Amino acid sequence: MTAVEICLDDLAGVRIAEQEGADRVELCAALAEGGITPSIGTVAAALRMASSIGIQVLVRQRPGDFVYDEDELQAMVDDIHSMRALPNPAGVQLGFVIGALRADGRINVDATRRLVAACGDAPVTFHKAFDQLADHAEGLEQLASLGVARVLTSAGAPTVLEAADDLARLVELAGDRIGILAGGGVRPANVVEVLERTGVREVHLRAQHAVPSAAAAAGTPTAYDPGTREVTSAEVVRSVVSAVRGTAEGRDA
């Protein structure tokens, strides 16, 4: 079955994604800046809210590059340990999204090994730092050997469809050893084409739309309130899930 993962930084989106049939969420903070680690309170709340959907937590200590010093790396290890210790009332699958590079643009194998070890038996995704690698095939082999479950990628292109052939090659190289999670420009209107052209079995998207902020709706916006905020759209999640499930049913028919 093809899995749908929704990237979000709004807690209400966890319930929306679950209700509309998504398989996982990637829980982040500050997506407008590319995403960083959400607070432990946010993760705790998401685990209380979820009844079946998997929760992947982004572990990224700061915006910017993916070359971390020792203090930053240890902070991420500590975050993982703290989040794994949180109550998980429904026993949903908790996993982590990580990524660490060297200054020369290759995977920091030692740092990645430490992060994977901190995750224990929780599934690990290597995020789109992968797209910055000069040699994706080498990186894929390294990550598979480190026990990473999947790689989030658009093969270095702005969108997955622009890199459909490269993604298809990564799927072939990965085999059953590591998953390829296609992310970058995935929308309801193109998700079927993405699946057909790449052969991926997992897709990732931010299903956002803008809504008026509460203060703006009340006519009292502040200097810190632009008047709208981005939240998870039930309609977008529903449409992507429906398209993906329809494709799966067609294959099984």
Cα dihedral sign, 118-80-97-32: negative
Q: Output the tens digit of pLDDT for each of the chain's 253 residues.
A: 899 999 999 999 999 999 999 999 999 999 988 999 999 999 999 999 999 999 999 999 999 999 999 999 999 999 999 999 999 999 999 999 999 999 999 999 999 999 999 999 999 999 999 999 999 999 999 999 999 999 999 999 999 999 999 999 999 999 999 999 999 999 999 999 999 999 999 999 999 999 988 877 677 767 778 888 899 999 999 999 999 998 765 455 4
Residue 22's nearest CA partner among 252, 200, 232 is 232
Look at residue 253 in the predicted model and tell me its pLDDT: 42
Under DSSP, the state recorded for 7 is E
Look at residue 215 in the predicted model and tell me its pLDDT: 77
Whether 57 and 40 have beta carbons less than 8 Å apart is answered as no
The pLDDT tens digits for 102-139 are: 999 999 999 999 999 999 999 999 999 999 999 999 99
Total count of residues recorded for the chain: 253
How many Å apart are CA 120 and CA 125, to the nearest integer?
Answer: 13
Under DSSP, the state recorded for 63 is S
Cβ neighbour number for residue 94 with a 10 Å cutoff: 21
Look at residue 248 in the predicted model and tell me its pLDDT: 61
The pLDDT tens digits for 145-160 are: 999 999 999 999 999 9
Domain assignments of the chain as residue spans, ordered by start: 3-252
Q: Is 236 helix (H, G, I), strand (E, B) or coil?
A: helix
Name 181's Cβ contacts closer than 8 Å, sequence gap at least 6.
5, 125, 150, 151, 152, 153, 200, 202, 203, 204
Residue 9's nearest CA partner among 21, 33, 18, 23 is 33
Look at residue 80 in the predicted model and tell me its pLDDT: 98
The CATH H-level (homologous superfamily) assignment of domain 3-252 is Copper homeostasis (CutC) domain (3.20.20.380)
